[in-house]
Amino acid sequence: MNRPSRLLAISAGILLMAGCGAEKSKLKTDTEQFSYAIGVEIGRSLDPISTDLDYKALKHGMNDVQAKKELAFTDEELEKIKMTVAQTLMEKQQQKRTSDGEAALKKGEEFLAKNGKKDNVVTTESGLQYEVLTEGEGANPAATDIVTVHYKGTLINGDTFDSSYDRGQPIQFPLDRVIPGWTEGVQLMKAGAKHRLFIPASLGYGEMGSGEKIGPNETLIFEVELLDITKP
């Protein structure tokens, strides 16, 4: 199914969410619970375009189909409408993403400029900044080594987007398979060390961002604890 068709198909499910929120005690049968689960999934899928929908018109279209009435538009016209609106929505989303990225880049640059003036913060040639919280011992890892770490990642506003501490499980990975800021920053550490890394967007996820929590051009802060180094 192409994107515009999928968009309209998903929109049809809004009828499942009409009215007040459902109470768990009233969803007793398998059919009711399954329908509610589908409704939640549809609601989440609609969230990015919720402000662009006219729910009265949506319900009108649903009712016409269910009542087998003559539709206001031919199938060809409907397809054209979906294609046009879907293109408009994608353009709006891209414009917002560009605007958000520009704002995030500016805030990140201002943050790093101020942060780099602190006595305990070191700025490398690439623009990476780091602060030593705990010294380690032994050799530094090479980019080709496999490292085991605990970490916590936050945005410059303090929001946590990921944490191995919260999961209660460190992670292990080849050091050359992660974002450049990590590859460079962890090589500056020794086993047992704990550093705070301040990673500019160019050494992080850049204009693409990552998932829902890391937007375009976000500056990232990681507290990283290097637990072990293994040769490949």
pLDDT the model gives residue 21: 56
Domain ranges of the chain: 3-72, 117-230
Helix (H) or strand (E) holding 153: strand 146-155
The active-site residue out of 146, 156, 161, 228 is: 161
Catalytic residue among 14, 42, 214, 222: 222
Q: What pLDDT score was predicted for residue 10?
A: 47
Pairing of the two strands 160-163 and 146-155: antiparallel
- pLDDT score of 193: 97
Catalytic annotation on 38? Answer: no
Is 198 part of the annotated catalytic residue set? no
- Residue-wise pLDDT for 131-186, tens only, equals 999 999 989 999 999 999 999 999 999 999 999 999 999 999 999 999 999 999 99
pLDDT in tens, 175-187: 999 999 999 999 9
CA distance 49 to 88: 11
Q: Per residue of the chain (232 residues), what is the pLDDT tens digit?
A: 444 444 444 444 444 444 445 577 788 898 988 988 988 887 788 787 778 788 788 788 879 988 999 999 999 999 999 899 889 988 988 998 999 999 999 999 999 999 999 999 999 999 999 999 999 998 999 999 999 999 999 999 999 999 999 999 999 999 999 999 999 999 999 999 999 999 999 999 999 999 989 999 999 999 999 999 999 8
> What pLDDT does 22 receive?
58
Does domain 117-230 fall into CATH 3.30.1380.10?
no
73 is catalytic: no
Whole-prediction pTM:
0.71
Q: Is 186:149 a contact under the CB 8 Å cutoff?
A: yes
The pLDDT of residue 61: 87
Active-site annotation holds for 228: no
HEC readout, 103-149: HHHHHHHHHHHHHCCCCCEEECCCCCEEEEEECCECCCCCCCCEEEE
Question: Which of the residues 151, 198, 214, 221 is marked catalytic?
Answer: 151
CA gap 15, 6 in Å, rounded: 16
